[in-house]
Structure 1
Amino acid sequence: MSVLNSKIKPFATQAFKDGKFIEVTEKDVLGKWAVFFFYPADFTFVCPTELGDVADHYAELQKLGVEVYSVSTDTHFVHKAWHDTSDTIAKIKYTMLGDPTWQISQNFDCLREGQGLADRATFIVDPEGVIQAMEITAEGIGRNAEDLLRKIKAAQYVASHPGEVCPAKWQEGEKTLAPSLDLVGKI
């Protein structure tokens, strides 16, 4: 079952952020745009390249009013250990959620059955807590933070411009579409 257009479910977990352990709940997410960036495990191969890519774009995401929550089924202690030993992970400033009970991964329907690991999945959540976009890739396919930024900008544009939609490859500042009977069969 797709979680697209559904409200995020309640959760409470420990996280690692700015050298500290903090508790995060779904209530902390409400009121601003958010990205939940699931990955299989700490101390792996593709995962640090993706997390580092998001870290490199974190300042731009913050300017858009977006908070990032990376999520794996590891604990917050493992996130700290990884942060302390990897130059790539050390640059992360966003919140790293631990999900050892699998609650968050199950809430977003991206827990790998029988493995206890999260899929490589990204969810864009609006300020009301509604999932506006999602992407899930196979194990060996890394994601691209620049495309994530484009999708967030499109989601924010559509949210603030009712009656307009963003076509394929839309970039900020480009033309949008206003769906109507007049457009049917003319694109």
Structure 2
Amino acid sequence: MCTKVGGLAPDFEAGAYFPNGEIKKIKLSDYRGKWVVLLFYPADFTFVCPTELVDVAEKYEELKNLNVEVIGISIDTVFVHKVWQEVELSKMISGGVPYPLASDLGGKIGQLYGVYDEALGLDLRGTFIIDPDGVLQSVEINNAPVGRNADELVRKIKAFQHVRATGGKEVCPAKWEPGKTTLKPGIELAGKVYEVYKK
């Protein structure tokens, strides 16, 4: 795995199918200045995958309002992405998923991010949150049978954005939501979290 939380996310270029029907090349570095979610999944026309992509699609407006771009990535060609949008995804959510689906032929991007399974020839379920400076803030990798939760994705992005906004002077405890108690790291807090932490 060539990725490391706190380090720069590896750049890549790939063909992508966009919801307006356009096919074009995208580069991760073109998204600098925005938060980016890379949403790796095994393959189009499978079983758990459409439920995950639609789950994220249902949160897409909220994500856009948080200055987040989403890129779905699998080993399928852009042409298969197009047909999948038309045949299945558009039946699950009006208009299909509203973010681009990139083509990771041969699993080259998946190898960069440590999610490509050579034995299966597929990318595993990997979620990578990248900040506006291109720094990787979160990695989640699931084996193929279990899907992810878009609510938790949004929660984590809000938490990382809060930490960034405070310059790291505040950190977010377990299950933190906006408006809840944050923690101010320092020697004074060591051994006394119980005094300030409220669930």
* Structure 1 residue 103, shift from structure 2 partner: 2.1
Residue 29 (1) aligns with residue 31 (2):
yes
Deviations 1:41-68 (A, max 9, x none): 1000000000000011101100000000
Task: Give the number of equivalent residue pairs.
Answer: 187
Q: Is the 8 A contact 2:86 2:96 kept in 1?
A: no
The one-letter code of the counterpart of 2:123 is: A
- 2:144 is matched with which residue: 123, 139, 152? 139
Q: How does 1:85-96 map to 2 (within 5 A)?
A: 85-86=87-88, 87-88=91-92, 90-96=95-101
The one-letter code of the counterpart of 2:79 is: F
The one-letter code of the counterpart of 2:135 is: V
Q: Is the 8 A contact 1:164 1:177 kept in 2?
A: yes
SS at match of 2:29: helix
Q: Distance in 1 between matches of 2:106 and 2:66?
A: 31
Residue 161 (1) aligns with residue 163 (2):
no
- 2:55 is matched with which residue: 53, 56, 64? 53
The one-letter code of the counterpart of 2:183 is: L
Gaps of 5+ in 2: 194-199
Paired residue for 1:14? 15
Q: Distance in 1 between matches of 2:60 and 2:165?
A: 22
Name the larger-Rg structure: 2
Deviations 1:115-136 (A, max 9, x none): 2211111000001111101111
Paired residue for 2:6? 5
Q: Distance in 2 between matches of 1:78 and 1:49?
A: 17
Query: What's the Cα RMSD here?
Result: 1.3
Divergent runs of 4+, >4 A: none
**How high is the TM-score relative to the length of structure 2?**
0.90
* Structure 1 residue 113, shift from structure 2 partner: 2.8
Paired residue for 1:150? 155
SS at match of 2:116: coil
Q: Distance in 1 between matches of 2:28 and 2:145?
A: 30
The one-letter code of the counterpart of 1:114 is: A
Q: Is the 8 A contact 1:61 1:149 kept in 2?
A: yes
* Structure 1 residue 10, shift from structure 2 partner: 2.6
